Amino acid sequence: MNKRTLAISGAAIAALGAAAILLPNANANPDETSGAKTFSSPAAVKLARSLASDLGDNGAGWYYDGANRQLVMNVMDQDSADSVRAQGAVAKVVQNSMAELKAATETLSSDASVPGTAWSIDPVTNKVQVTADRTVTGAKWATLTKATGQMEGTVSVRRSQGEFKKFDGGEAAQPGDNGDNGDNGGTGAGDAAGGAGAAGGAGDAGTGAVGGAGDAGTGGAGDAAGGAGDAGAGGAGDAGGGGDAAAGGLDGGDAIFGGGARCSLGFNVSVDGAPGFLTAGHCGNESQTWSSDQAGAQQVGTVQDSQFPESDFALVMYDDATTQASSTVDLQNGSTQEIGRAVEASVGLEVQRSGSTTGVTDGTVTGLNATVNYGNGDIVNGLIQTDVCAEPGDSGGAMFAEDAAVGLTSGGSGDCTQGGETFFQPVTAALEATGAVIGAGDGGAGGGDAAGGAGDAAGAGNAGSGNAGAGDAGDAGAGDTGAAAGAGDTGGDTGQSLN
């Protein structure tokens, strides 16, 4: 064999060796994104549900990658990965099946249920994420680590600098204490626990919506935390978000007072045509009656159903059956967000929260089917875990995504200075349990797959868009012309389902 032949043979062998190294690595990459499509969040959710149904046990959860606008599906084998990629989603071959992850949560519940712990299924890491707050030390830490040590590869443990607690607050803590001053149009509630002002709920400018604050009308809560005042009767002037039709009603995120506690209203609802609202169950357990002012002079509603622990929601019915409670959330800046439907949360969903202490904050859903142990036997299951901040007094407040109700603030660790994690009761579960619907009148806004979720054909008509909450000019609530809002797939962009 001559030198040229040897050189060629040597090069061929080297090339084959390189291929032997590269090909396995290429096949082993479970996060291959070539050819993946971009999706809006609603489109991603719709495709994810369809793919999850088709995959069955070969699927292991999914999440929305908001940064890249891609849907990521966890799968158990390569054939499933190929079918996922064919639909334009990113396929991620993972180790743990959904059945294994759920089994891990059951083991934690039986073997590691110690106060100050929480866990949820995290599809991003394909593990059960366990969080232990700063109180988990000594014997409690030993119990936790003994249980999790036997589930290596399935469970991940991390520490939180804060302490898990329910976010109800005492009446001494006023709305806006931790927010910006109401005069500056921030998230606070005004100069003195709601911007005072002789008109209380309306303000001279009349620009607030069910709680425009004081003389500046910048969106605080007023003397009655969003209530009446001499000129208000629960709403602003003709140009406001509430209008005459919303007299007496409050918005999501407004302060409510009862039994020495201050909480926040979640979402206005109706039950068989009667007006009411949802808030946290641990708030509902504090008092049978709730007022819009700290003194209790303006009672607004009576608890009809309160569930805590295990779940964390309460249904409060307005005492005045003629109350026209608009389906809106207070954005704490003089404006409101119309809510026409309810959806189930998904990991990666971008959300906002409105509460009477910290105003409006935002973040992302990070885990589902979460369990949190607040101590003293107060263990709540089936919650939504987020990186949204909250503080005492925000309990019961509204978590929403655009025009869709998502959750009711329960509790968590941290605050809005240092951050932390916050847990929310899914609104869809609360609606199903109470028979309530989002909005008032006309059968509610958006029926959908899960007691208020915006399904393909549900939520059409006047529900969630009619005159209630529209103001005299009809600008804020869309008036009678907004019939398509909340209509799911049949309602165009404004009614497109997030879930």
Catalytic: 312? yes
Candidates 312, 378, 394, 403; catalytic one:
312
Catalytic: 395? yes
pTM, 2 dp: 0.72
- DSSP code string of 279-348: E-HHHHTT-SEEESSTTS-SEEEEEEEEE-SBS-EEEEEESSTT----SEEE-SSS-EEE--EE----TT
- DSSP code string of 46-67: HHHHHHHHHHGGGEEEEEEETT
Cβ atoms of residues 375 and 356 within 8 Å? no
- Per-residue pLDDT at 249: 76
Task: Quote the Cα angle for 226-319-340, to 5°.
Answer: 60
- Per-residue pLDDT at 100: 97
- Per-residue pLDDT at 71: 97
Candidates 264, 270, 282, 354; catalytic one:
282
Q: What does the pLDDT profile of the chain (499 residues) look like in tens digits?
A: 444 444 444 444 444 444 444 434 334 444 456 689 999 999 999 999 999 999 999 999 999 999 999 999 999 999 999 999 999 999 999 999 999 999 999 999 999 999 999 999 999 999 999 999 999 999 999 999 999 999 999 999 999 989 999 999 886 544 444 434 333 333 443 333 333 333 333 333 333 333 333 333 333 333 333 333 333 333 333 333 333 333 457 999 999 999 999 999 999 999 999 999 999 999 999 999 999 999 999 999 999 999 999 999 999 999 999 999 999 999 999 999 999 999 999 999 999 999 999 999 999 999 999 999 999 999 999 999 999 999 999 999 999 999 999 999 999 998 999 888 999 999 999 999 999 999 544 433 333 333 333 333 333 333 333 333 333 333 333 333 333 333 333 333 333 335 4
Cβ atoms of residues 497 and 344 within 8 Å? no
Which residue, 67, 121, 117, 66, is CA-closest to 96?
A: 121
- Per-residue pLDDT at 170: 80
C-alpha 325/C-alpha 33 separation (Å) is 47
Candidates 120, 346, 354, 395; catalytic one:
395
- Per-residue pLDDT at 248: 52
Q: Evaluate the omega torsion of the peptide bond into residue 309 and state whether it is cis, within 30 degrees of 0.
A: yes
